[in-house]
A and B are shown apart, each in its own frame.
Chain A
Amino acid sequence: MTDSPDDLRKLFAAGLQPGPFETESEIQPPELDGIEIETLLGQGGMGVVYLARNKRLNRPVALKVLHGDGDTLEAERLSREGKVLAKLDHAHILRVYDVLFDQVGHPCLMLEYVEGGDLADRIQAGGYSVEQALIWFRQIVEAVAHAHSMRVLHRDLKPSNILFDPSGMVKVGDFGLAALDRSEVTFTLTLSGTTAGTEAYMSPEQRNGEKLDAGTDVYSLGVILYEMLTGRRPQGIFSALKDKRLDRIVRTCLLERSEDRYSSCEALLQELDRTPNRWLPYVAFGTVVLSVLGFLGNALLRPSGSESESASPPLHAQPTSTPVPLFTPAPRAVAPSVEKTDVNVLSGLEENLADLRSRGNWSFEEGALVVQPGRTSQAWIELPSAPGESYDLEVVATRLTGTDSLPIVFPTSSGVVAVELDAWRQGIGGFQLVDGQDLRSSGRSFPIRYQNGVPLTVLIRVRREQLQLWVNGELKSTLALQHRELSKPGLWEFPQSLQFGVGAWESSARFDRIVWRPIDDE
């Protein structure tokens, strides 16, 4: 194939200096059927990541183009192993949707796209509570435990691989990619890390290129936990954590020999379960000093409540025995006995209506809160005196015109969530968002429609461990809160700090009754 001395010289010159050629990120993105590349998100040792759109499903996806030689055997292996990763279906694992090959046979992973930032950013920003850190950490460990149960090691756990969805739920990414990417050159690049940060999370056996087991991820988890709690990585002789139990957890994760660490992520979770959920003060990163409870205001995601001592969110709540609803549900509006503890939200609201944050036209008519559609599709109003984390809430609502949902937004121990009925113009109802999923995709919806002019009575029983929903006396939904992240539906433009409120989508409606009753479930 060599043509001439001049050609030979040029070939040697080109072969000797591959540098002037474009790097992967500078060349055009891959072309894939049904995928529209939107922009370059970033690049690293493993490959290049693009934001793309799955045109068929009309949803954003992340597309990771792996470094690799793309030959046939490699392609087959990637395809096979990528499908294993695609089976990692867990609320806290970033989904691998598919393994694709571009126009020249280069392998690409189609991933779930989330845009809530990563843990590295949150650690750097600081200002979160120890409790919050432990909630995140538990979600991370659960994700890794699930992967291990599917015989997948992560091998590259670090804060920048731990993402958040918009509701604040952890999504661990890049599972098993280190295993996928076995090409010598790339692996060397990965090991050398190009940043000191990567190596700081590696177990001793991984740094030494030895055989790896689940212990390697446990080690990385220990580094991450320490960094989350102190803002520093545990290197050399590092300071002990003030909480002795947490310090022991970190140090057990970081033991030199894999067999001396927690034998599994489940063992680590059990140890976390044994750890009390109230923490001694920690000196946080930067200048913020965290104290024991409830003191950081908005920095804490926990709903504000009157009973601050019991409002501390349970890290590892256990399911309770068969629940008994406070109210005896009836086919129409329930008239609970008027007790001193009941809080009638509508009482006295009329005078303060103008002071409440809202969108749309809200007014009072005959003691009922009424909304007329405004210039925008959505109307909502923030209600005062938000309940704590254990209470019963009763709302009697009537849609007057329109065809869509009337949301009820309320706080729980796992985040602020909404009940929506006759939602998405699909006649479905239930809690949303649950683990970032709306009613259409969470698998927890039930069929229900408003008949305009006919009131529906909604009873919501909120406990630390679970939520239950009755409509017109019929139990429609029960949701265990353990390991759940609840959040407000994204389409509604509620203020971030809104805890309690009602709304209407392209509808007029009347709320005749909004009452909540605090419950002591200790």
Chain B
Amino acid sequence: MKPSSSPNPNRFQTTRWSLVLSAREQGPDAEVALEELCRRYWPALRSFAVRMGCTSHDADDMAQGFFIQVVEKDLFARADPERGKLRTFLATAFRRYLQDQWSKAGARKRGGGLEILSFDESRDSQGNEPRNALDQEWAARVMELSLERLQERYRQDGRLELLQSLRPYLTGELPEGGYAALADEQRMSSGAAKVALHRARKRFGEALRYEVAETLGPDEEVESELRHLLMAVS
């Protein structure tokens, strides 16, 4: 599937939303879907848990526990891709899960249980959670997945080494010494270096849009979500 900046009514069938839909069913397919969801988004949820005050170890447990409970309590039963972004859905569900855990932990603490900050303690003076914390982690994860996708493409073409050289310049910056320096490094002509970097940037943009599109409902716009993530990390 190609990323698209316009809504596509058929898209959710092939996005990560379909993993959510599969994960709420029973059977081996559901397990595979959940595993994939876990692999893709567990790091973001884990990092968010850290930002919310969990220790590294507890954050692992939280993220892992969340996905276990997804199965046990059929947490995805009400998941509806028509309602929007996977990011929003997972964030809401995970926050709810964290709150539950903190409530239980508070009870246990009183009985000498888990040592973590309370959910309320992680909020700022206005009672807000760290600004855009989950969105920032989400953005970082989406970027990781995009770069992994880009890497895979170059690996298949046998040009992974080339991408590694170009990677620092995907941001739009040029190496010191311009294309000539890059060309020297890559033992190619300046023109070839320019072409190679141009294509790497173009492919990076495609990979990023692909990954973002995977998380959106049918009426969501890729560019809009991209702008949201940029704001979150700015």
Contacts and interface: CB of A to CB of B under 8 A. Distances in A.
B144 A70 contact: no
Interface in B120-144: 136, 139-140, 143-144
B144 A2 contact: yes
Interface stretch (A10-18, A126-134, A284-292, A401-409): A10-18
A417 B201 CA distance: 54
Interface residues of A, number: 34
Contacts of A14: 170-172, 201, 204-205
8 contacts: A10-B171, A11-B171, A15-B205, A16-B226, A22-B198, A28-B189, A72-B158, A103-B192
B194 A28 contact: yes
Residue among B143, B147, B148, B171 facing the most chain A CB atoms (10 A cut-off)? B171
A72 to B, nearest CB: 5
A259 interface: no
A29 B194 CA distance: 10
A309 interface: no
Interface of B: 2, 136, 139-140, 143-144, 146-148, 151, 153, 156-159, 162, 167, 170-173, 188-192, 194-196, 198-199, 201-205, 208-209, 223, 226-227, 229-230, 233-234
Nearest to B179: A28
B192 A104 contact: yes
A21 B200 CA distance: 11
A184 B3 CA distance: 10
Contacts of B191: 27-29, 31
Contacts of A5: 136, 233
A1 B201 contact: no
A330 interface: no
A106 B172 CA distance: 22
Contact of B143 (A11, A28, A31, A103): A11
A71 B208 CA distance: 17
Residue among A5, A8, A18, A184 facing the most chain B CB atoms (10 A cut-off)? A8
Contact of B195 (A15, A20, A104): A104
Given A1-B147, A21-B201, A28-B190, A12 B233 contact: yes
Main secondary structure of the interface of A (DSSP, over half): loop
Given A102-B195, A103-B188, A16 B227 contact: yes
Contacts of B162: 104
B9 to A, nearest CB: 16
A185 interface: yes
Residue among A11, A12, A27, A71 facing the most chain B CB atoms (10 A cut-off)? A12
Q: List the 10 shortest-distance A-B pairs measured between CB atoms, nearest first.
A: A28-B191, A10-B171, A15-B208, A12-B230, A1-B147, A18-B205, A14-B172, A103-B192, A184-B2, A16-B226
Given A11-B143, A15-B226, A31-B189, A106 B233 contact: no
A9 B230 contact: yes
Interface of A: 1-2, 5, 7-16, 18, 20-22, 24, 27-31, 69-72, 102-106, 184-185
Nearest to A185: B2
Contacts of B167: 1
Contacts of A31: 189, 191-192
A12 B139 contact: yes
Contacts of A10: 171-173
B146 A15 contact: yes
A69 B157 CA distance: 11
B152 to A, nearest CB: 10
A12 B143 contact: yes
Nearest to A24: B198
A105 B192 contact: no
A191 B195 CA distance: 26
Contacts of A1: 144, 147-148, 151, 167
A75 to B, nearest CB: 8
A69 B203 CA distance: 8
A105 B157 contact: yes
Contacts of B229: 12
Contacts of A27: 191, 194-195, 198
Contacts of A105: 157, 159
A31 B190 CA distance: 11
Contacts of A185: 2
Contacts of B148: 1
